[in-house]
Each structure stands twice: as structure tokens, then as C-alpha cells.
Amino acid sequence: DTPASTHPCGRVAEMGSGASSPIRRACASPASSASKYCTETNKVAPAVILITAPAENEQATLFVSADGDATTKSAGSAAPSLRKTQLNAEEREEVVKVLEVARLVRLRLQGGQRTLHWLADTAEIEDFAAGAILSGDPAWAEGHRVVLSGSASISLSPEGPGRGVEVATLQRGDAFGWALTLNNPDEEAALEAWERCSPRILVGADEVLRVALLPEETEDMFSMQRKPSKRPLPDSGAARGSIRPESRCGSKMIGRTSSRRQSALSQVGTAGSDTNTTVMLTLTDFFARLWLVASAPRKGIGEVSVGMPRAHFQAALWSPLVDRFEELSDQIRRRKQQGYRIHDCFPLQGYQIAEMKDHVLHLTEIWYGSDRGGNLSSMYKWFCESMDLLGVTAYSYDLIPKEISVDGWATVVDGAARVAALKGKGLSDALYVSTGGLAQRQGRSAIDNTVLRNVFLPYEAEEMLTGRFLRKILCKFMQLRQKCIIRRLSERLELDLMWLAQAGGPNRGHRVVKNVLECLSLKELEHAGIEPESTCFKALLSRGSILAGYGQLDPTQQTIVWQNVRQLLERKSVDEMQGEYRGEPRADAEDKIERFVAWCRDYPGEYFERSKEMHMQVLIGGAWCNKLVIIRRSAMEKMTLARYFPIPWQRTQPLWGYTNLGPTIVRPEGVKEASNVRANECPYASLHGMSLSAGGFSSDERCGAAKKNPTKKYTMIMEMQWVRDPKANIENWYITDIEKIAQEAFYLNPHGPASMKLQGEIFTNVGQNPKVGSSIKNTQHTQICEGSLNTYPVLKIPSKRGPLPSPALDGAMLELVDVGPEGTSLENQGLMIRITTENPTALPVLKFLVDLRYHLLANVEGAAEAIDFLVTAVADETGNFVVIFAPLPQLVKLDDKHPDLATWANPLTGESSETAGLEETRIDFGKGVGHFLVAKQALREQLLENGEETLRRIWAFNRIPGIRSLIEDFFRVNGAFPEEPPKTYDSQPMLTWTRTPLSPSKTGHTTRYA
């Protein structure tokens, strides 16, 4: 009964007219293409008719085929194939288990298990058929739905039909939807804008999507205002009041600047104020709510062709995160100005650092996509800068003089300036301990202090805990005394000094008080009954403010206070122990508990005297009989200077070491590992950090702690620092951990081209020093600094054959690069293997490199004393990673001078640094890429004069005769190149050398044998 119009191909294309008509037409293709299609095929182009039922808010699509047949397919919100309102015990338990790991609950819910069980009791279970499409208000506005099983994709079409983009995915534990009570027209406009984006949920084709619909009352539970939390999480939600996206949709402003507005995420982790300020939602908030409770899309937001998701990601999530980093840095500065102790200046506790790390990883995965994965480069940059700001590093690397050679191949760092800056570190550490700080030195090496011991003898714990309490009491007495002084002077001078001297950061009032006190004569002070030489008055005079804490005292005053505290505790301890007072626990003590404490200090993460049974007996028995005090790890982290953030990963390849009996497995495949990333306290590169093994301690990152209550800090076994894997504590020399380097490089670099980087992200270089460049043997660690492939020209030297896709590497590019002066023969050049891959942690890449290292170790005579390896991984700023693998000889030091000044020799070639005319011959994490810490003027001149030539000669000096043939044989056996099918050996030759004496050096001494 309605007029009809005709499609160019002759088929009826539209029925009905006017905005109120329930029947609308949507063509499968533009008219011009449809007409062309009909001309070429002589068939009718299909038309698509959308029939809408406004009363039921459902939509269906009638597909008319070319032969006239019509079929219908759901295009609107698919009704669940099953909805259960009464759940049995098994189903309720299923809901509880999912809620324990759900992002929605872990981010917003502050309740415990009772709340989770209440949610499970009131939830409804819905099943959506495979391939179903959910859209409209029933999909989004009925409440929070948590995915129990199955998967789905969420897509938007902000630019109209046919331009849909995937913005998120749904997996087990993810959520979607909300139950909103709109407060004003602006929020209604925001919801309308969200609906105009045509959000759809496409259920996977292979599995039913099973969800739990939570009650509508949970919206208030998730978003209500709370009192300020004592555990502020990273501010990771929609933009705060000062950051308001201004986007129009139709004629209404969607993002309107307002001081009343608070972001959805300001309630996530960081609770709001206890006022009843109304939260005004915007379109940005809807995006934030979706991204924070769902999984990342397969293709990242940063790559989609539509600009709206990118804009709202920046406004809703990333810009607030950058602001949060800046706020934390400002907080560190304020605390330093206010005189906080150094360990109290860092505003985040250990578990909060881990939470921030997880949040940054989630946001970057949204931007780069789950296929690429997230990264932590922005957090690493902020973390290193924070440690520099705190003063944890011995000096600021930016203040060390640096020079770059004319050709850009070499960077010269002034070693003398670095040595001078390091001289004060020992004094500052001693001063920190003498004023009551916890000693930071422990373990097998100088860097084995990332996790301080948490077991103490009773008198140690008393000094650390009761001593801190007494220290606070003494400071309170000093505050009272200072207030008395201020009141007395205020009365005499008729000046309100009390208001000016209130505790806090430096301000004008403090300067006024300080100037007033300085102008008073000794006679006036004595007449007022004030002792000018008293500690209280001196502290008041030095700052001009009432004492706010122990850290505001100068070091001399802190030492006096701490000595008084120790004297009080010492008298008590002497009385209790009948005149016997002991110092540090001794490893050779007769008492087993004292030996146990000393062992935990000297060998953290290992079982007592290598016995698990004895370790458990002493730990539990000592605590039971009150002879051993265990302090929570979260409390110990507050007193730790070497803060870190963890990166968990699982080993897929065995880690090989080498002994006199041949290669041996140090760490088997399949074990769970964790890397603790921290700043290098003695940096020699930009943003220089290091990564240590998490050791043998249990950690939430490694024990499936996603199930733990989000309101708690750590699980019990982590709080106790329970030894889990003592074999994780391995040495650094002779054990090149290729997989550790690759994993850390993957986590600490953006996963896209430079143009796709987010604000605050950087490219990093991750590697491990060979023995010749490592001063620490007993603790495995990798080196990290800012840099990419473009930073180091030596890593870009072209190979003769060029990069070739390798079947053994699943298509990654493989090159064998010769490095040496131009015109030298191959046997007189060094070499490196360069692999360019999208993912350095890919199984074929790791297996290839690990097998190659094993192949060389197993086929070189005396490999433990003959060869070593340099492995480093960088990003190439185009979205790929470059892994460098270089076999090196173990150089021999020919004299007793400092390594930076000594003469070195290559025992495999018989050449020394003097005969080669080189001022430096070692290759390590820095020197191998052209970054030199220079202590000799001659070396500085040599590098600055011709950086490329010097670097090529250093690589040529570190050649291993015959190593090329072993590598090429390995390539042939493994089919590394397309034209070389895999082969097998009948017998494997052993690489050996004839040992001949080296020629005497120019200085007259005879070198060792080669």
C-alpha cells in the first residue's frame, strides 16, 4: 500500500517514505556499481530491506537474492537462547570464580568474597548463540554482563554503515553494558552519541557466548563516591576535569568543560571524595568504561582508519595516565622539599607498582592490538626518571659530559666525571644507615638487594620497628617544644608566627619565620627562656617551620636522635640478655636461628644450607618460639631504595651453561620466570636500567594471584617471602640468557613504527654483558638503556647477501654480517648474526638462537674458557625487532692495571691491543654498539677522530678463527636459507686452535700464551 521506487537494476529497492516509516532501504552497493554489475552479468543486483519494529525495539534484515528468493537474518539485538534466573550451586560457583578474575570487579569493586557471593546469588545466566549479533539498548543498557565462557568482538560504525571497526574483544572475565540513571540532557546526548556509533557485539562463530547479567543495583556499587582510599591506583580512566574532549555529534556538544565532572575512572582504584558530587557522563566515559573492562581488539586502535576511537582513547585513557605520571613526579619533588626520608619520597608501594604496570600493559595493548601486544616502555621511562629524581642513582647521567664523533658512530662518556660522581655514594649510604635507615647491602653481590630480607632476630626487629616508633615520639616532643618557642616569641613580638610556621613545604611564611628568628639576639632569646643551642631551636631556625617529621632534621640532628633511640633500646636488650648484646647476625654462629637469619641476608631466595626441610623447620619453629621475627614484604618494600616493577614470563627454551664436562642445563624449559626491572644506580647510558631475576621467592605474578582479593596487597606466601625456586638464582658469567633478553626487549619497546608511538614511550636496547664487560659475577642481570637500531650505525652494517627470509625462523629475516675495516679478508673480520622479526619471543627465533649457541659451545674445544657471546635486542622503529647474536673470544688481561687502562689480548689469534694499535679492544653491551665509557685521553681522541674505523677494528680484533664455518654448517643443517635444505652431519668436527706464544709487547713484558 506504499509507493515504490525502483533500483537501477529494476528490482524494487525501497518501500515507504518519511521519517516515521518503519521500512527503510539499504543497498548492498552504490547504484553505479550495482548497475555495472547487472550489465556485465545480466543478473539482478540484490537489494537489502531493513524492516524495523519500533514497538519491540527489534530489527530484522530481509535479504532478496538475485533469483527472487528472500531470507531473513537478525540484524538487531539477538535474544538469548537461554536465560536462567535461579542458579544452582554449581552455576553460582562458576559465577564467583569468574568474578574473582573479572576486570570489572577487580577495578571497581571494593568488596570481598561476601559481595562476590551476593552478586552470584542475584545474577542471571544468559546464553547467546554462536554467530549472534547483539546491539541496541538490550545489549548495553540492561546492566553489567560478565563473560563466563565463549568469545565475541565489539565493533563500532561511527562513520556510518560499512565502516565498522573492531574496538574491543570479549573473553572470559571481560564485561560489557551498564545500568545508567541519566542526570541531565548532556548525559542523554552522550548516550545518543554512543548509540549513533552503532555498537555491535558479534558472538564468535564456534562457541556459545555465556554471560552473567549482574543486578542493576551493582551500578551504584561500582560507581558510587567513596572516601579517599589509602591505596591509590594509577589514575587510568576518562579524562579529569581539565581534559575534556570537545566533539560534536549532531547539534549537541558531547564533551563540555565542567569542573563538576569527574571521570569514570577517577572512581576506579582511586576513590573519590566523600561528597555527593554528581558524576556527569560523556561519550568519552562510555569508551573508557568499555575499554577498561574488555580485552583489547586484535588490530590496535592506533591502526584503525576511523579517527574517533583514537581520539577518545587519548582523551579517556592515555592522557590521564601521562598526567598521573607527572603528578607522581611532582609528589616526589614535594616530598623531597619537605624533607621526607629518601625511601618515603616514592609515592607508590610495591603492589601499587605492579597494578600500574598491569594497567599500562592493558592500555598499550588496546592501542597496538592483541596481535602485537602491549608494552611497558612509558612506565620504564617514568620509573628511571623517578629514581633519578629521588636520588637513588648515585648521580644524574644527564650531568656527565658526553661527546659524539663526527661520523656519529661513537659516543664518548667522560669516565673521570663519572668516577668523581661515584665517590660520594659510599658516604651517602653510610650516612643513611647511621641515621636509622635500613642497610641496603645484602646478598651475593652489590645489586642483590632488590628484595630485602624479611626475617630478623628479636633485637633486630625491635630496633627497626620499636626504634622507628620511639623516633616518632621524640619528633613529637620536638614539635611540642617548637610550638612552645613559637608561642612565646609570638607573645613577646606581637606577631603571629604560629600561623606562618605551620608544617609543610617551603613557602613565604617559613622564610618570614626564619628571618625573624635570625634577627633576634642571644640576649633576647635567653630573656624569653629559649636556649639558642638546643636541637629544637636549631631545627626551627634552619627551616622556619614546625617539624613535620624525622627527615626534616639535618643529618647531624638525625644522628643524635637515632643514637638516643639506640641507647634506650640497648639498655633494654642488655637487661633482657643479662649483659650480652649482639650486633649483626653471624654466619658462623653456634645458634642455628642466628645462622638462618645470616643465611637469608647473604643468600636471599635460597634454602637454608641448601636444605628445604631444615629451612622450613627453622622458619616455622623460630617464629613459633618467638626467636625469629617475620615482617611482611609489603612493609619491607617501604624501606627499600631499589624499587622495581616485575615482568613475568615463561621459559620456552632451556638455558645452557658450560662446565668442564660440556654444556649443561641451568634452567629447563617450561619454568616460570620473572624479571625485576629497576634503575641502574651507576648509569653510563641514557635511562640506564637493569633487570634481575626475581629469584626464588614466590610472587603473585607467578602463582596465579589473579584470584586473590583485589582489596588485599599480597598473598600470604608472598608477604612471607616464601622460597619457591632456589635454582632461579644463577650467575651472570658464561650464561648468556637469550630468552630473557628477548622477553624484556619485547615488553620494553613499542610494538609499532615510530609514528605510532604514544606520548612518553621510548625505544630501548636490552642486552647482557659478556664476562669481559661484567663486573658482577654472582647475580644474573641484563642491561637496559634508551636506544633503537637507528641509534647505533654499527648494527646497520649491510651484509653481503642482504636480509633473506629464513624458513627456519618462520619467515623472519636472517643475515650473517661481517664487521671489519674495509678491504680486509673475511678471516680477519669479526661477525654478527642479525635477525629482523616482528616478535623476538617467537618460538622459531628463540629456538634457532638457543640451538646455535649450544652448537657453538658443544663444538669448540674448551668453550668455557675460549668463547663468549654478545646478545642484544633493539627495535628498528618500523614495527620490527632486531636481535644481534655475536660470538666473541674471551680476552685475556695482560697486566694488573684497571680494566679500562689495561692491555688486552685475543688468545685465539695471538694479537694484543698494543700490537693492534687500539686503545680499547673489549666488546660489551655499550662498546659493542659504539657507546664508550672513556678513562684514557688517547682512547677519546681515537674515537672522536674516526669512530667508524675504530669500531670496525675493535670488532675485527674480537674474531674467532674458524667460527664462520661452524655457523654456516649450522645454517645448512637447519635450512636457514631457502636455497639450503636441511642436512644432517655424519660427524661433527671440533673447532680447535694451535696454542702459540704471543709476541712481547711494546712495554717489555711477555704476554701469556695464546
| Mean pLDDT, residues 699-717 taken together | 59
Q: What is the pLDDT of residue 993?
A: 56
Helices then strands, each counted (H, E), the chain: 31, 37
Position 609 pLDDT exceeds 70: yes
At 116, the pLDDT band (50, 70, 90 cuts) reads confident
Let me know if 276 is exposed, middle or buried by CB neighbors in 10 A (0-12, 13-18, 19+): exposed
The identity of residue 643, as a single letter, is R
The dihedral sign for the CA sequence 647, 652, 656, 661: positive
- What is the mean pLDDT of the segment spanning 665-689? 93
Measured CA to CA, the distance from residue 387 to residue 804 in angstroms comes to 42
Q: Which residues, other chains included, contact 843 with Cβ-Cβ below 8 Å and sequence gap of 6+?
A: 652
> Could you write out the DSSP letters of every residue in 162-231?
T--EEEEEE-TT-EE-------SHHHHHHHHHHHHT--EEEE-SSS-EEEEE--TTHHHHHH---PPPSS
Question: Is residue 251 over pLDDT 70?
Answer: no
Q: Which residue has the cell 573519590?
A: 272
- Lowest model confidence (mean pLDDT) among 143-152, 421-430, 912-921: 421-430
What does the pLDDT read at residue 414? Answer: 93
User: Between β-strands 804-805 and 764-768, what pairing exists: parallel, antiparallel or unpaired?
Assistant: unpaired
Q: How confident is the model at residue 820 (pLDDT cuts 50, 70, 90)?
A: very high
From residue 503, give the alpha-carbon distance in Å to each of 230, 333, 346, 551, 973.
22, 16, 20, 13, 73
403, 412 Cβ separation under 8 angstroms: yes
CA distances from 311 to 94, 194, 296 (A): 37, 14, 16
Does residue 73 carry a pLDDT above 50?
A: no
- Mean predicted confidence (pLDDT) in 160-178: 86
Average pLDDT of span 138-146: 85
pLDDT tens figures, 573-585:
544 544 444 678 9
d(CA 975, CA 611): 46
Q: How far is the C-alpha of 558 from the C-alpha of 926, rounded, in Å? A: 41
- Alpha carbons within 13 A on the beta-carbon side of 831: 21
E strand or H helix that includes residue 965: helix 963-973
Higher pLDDT, 902 or 57: 902
Q: Which residue has the cell 620494553?
A: 748
Q: Within 10 A of 441 (CB to CB), how many other CB atoms are there?
A: 12
Q: What is the pLDDT of residue 238?
A: 36
Q: Is the pTM of this model over 0.95?
A: no
Burial of 996 (0-12, 13-18, 19+ CB in 10 A): exposed
pLDDT digit string, tens, across residues 348-381? 988 899 989 999 999 999 999 999 999 999 999 9
Backbone angles phi, psi at 708, to 5 degrees: -75, 155
Range of 80-94, 259-273, 462-476, 776-790 with top mean pLDDT: 776-790
pLDDT score for 706: 46
Please say whether the beta carbons of 196 and 254 come within 8 A. no
SS3 letters across 672-720: EEEEEEEECCCCCCCCCEEEEECCCECCCCCCCHHHCCCCCCCCHHHHC
- Which of 138, 111, 143, 145 shows the shortest CA–CA distance to 200? 138
Query: Is-contact 863 997, C-beta < 8 A?
Result: no
Residue 180 C-alpha cell reads as 545508567
What is the reported pLDDT for 221?
A: 53
Query: What is the grid cell recorded at 447?
Result: 645489586
User: Tell me, what's the pLDDT at 980?
Assistant: 65
Q: To the nearest whole percent, how much of the chain has pLDDT over 70?
A: 78
Under a CB-based contact definition with an 8 Å cutoff, are residues 975 and 807 in contact?
yes
The 10 Å Cβ neighbour count of residue 298 is 12
Residue length of the chain: 1010
Is 703 a residue whose pLDDT tops 90? Answer: no
C-alpha cell at position 55: 514497538
pLDDT for residue 684: 93
Structure-model confidence comparison of residues 881 and 1002, the more confident one = 881
Q: Which residues pair with 313 in a beta bridge?
A: none
What's CA 911's distance to the chain center, in Å? 44
Residue 846: which pLDDT band, with cuts at 50, 70 and 90? very high
Residue found under cell 582508519: 305
| Residue 799 confidence (pLDDT) | 93
- The single residue listed with the C-alpha cell 650464561 is 735
How far apart CA 375 and CA 362 sit, in angstroms, is 9
Taking the C-alpha atoms of residue 714 and residue 723, their distance in angstroms, rounded to an integer, is 15
pLDDT of 550 higher than 80? yes
Q: How many CB atoms lie within 10 A of CB 1005?
A: 10
Please answer whether residues 895 and 1001 qualify as being in contact, where contact means their C-beta atoms are separated by less than 8 angstroms.
no
C-alpha span between 479 and 412 (Å, rounded):
51
The dihedrals phi and psi of 554, each to the nearest 5 degrees, come to: -75, 160
Distance CA 479, CA 548 (A): 8
Question: CA 133 to CA 746: how far, in whole Å?
Answer: 36
Would you say residue 90 has pLDDT above 70? yes
Q: Does residue 16 carry a pLDDT above 80?
A: no
**Residue 552 has what pLDDT?**
84
- Which three three-digit cell numbers place residue 733? 658469567
The C-alpha cell at 871 is: 646478545
Q: Tell me the C-alpha distance between 557 and 603, whole Å.
A: 35
pLDDT of residue 503: 60
- Which residues are bridge partners to 804 per DSSP? 814
Which segment, 94-108, 446-460, 789-803, is predicted with the most confidence on average?
A: 789-803
Q: What is the mean pLDDT of residues 615-641?
A: 92
Q: How many CB atoms lie within 10 A of CB 442?
A: 19
Nearest C-alpha neighbor of 817 from the set 806, 807, 826, 805 = 826
Mean pLDDT, residues 651-677 taken together: 90
Region for 402 from its dihedrals, namely left if φ exceeds 0, alpha if ψ lies in -120 to 50, beta otherwise: beta
Work out whether strand 411-414 and strand 931-934 pair parallel, antiparallel, or are unpaired. Answer: parallel
Q: What is the pLDDT of residue 970?
A: 94
Return the DSSP state at 109: -
Cβ(321)–Cβ(239) below 8 Å: no
**Of 997 and 428, more confident:** 428
Q: Are 658 and 667 in contact (CB under 8 A)?
A: no
On whether the CB atoms of residues 290 and 144 are closer than 8 A, the answer is: no
Tell me the pLDDT of the chain averaged across its residues.
80
SS percent in the chain: helix, strand, coil, step 5: 40, 20, 45
Contact partners, residue 25, CB within 8 Å, separation at least 6: 13, 14, 15, 47, 48, 49, 50
| Residue, of 413 and 990, whose pLDDT is higher | 413
Q: How far apart are CA 541 and CA 708, in angstroms?
A: 50
CA atoms of 615 and 595, how far apart (whole Å):
11
Strand, helix or coil for residue 728: helix
- In DSSP terms, 833 is beta-bridged to 816, 885
CA distance 728 to 739: 14
pLDDT in tens, 739-785: 999 999 999 999 999 999 999 999 999 999 999 999 899 999 999 99
- Residue 298 above 80 pLDDT? yes
pLDDT, one tens digit per residue, over 490-532 is: 988 888 888 888 765 567 778 888 899 999 898 888 888 898 8
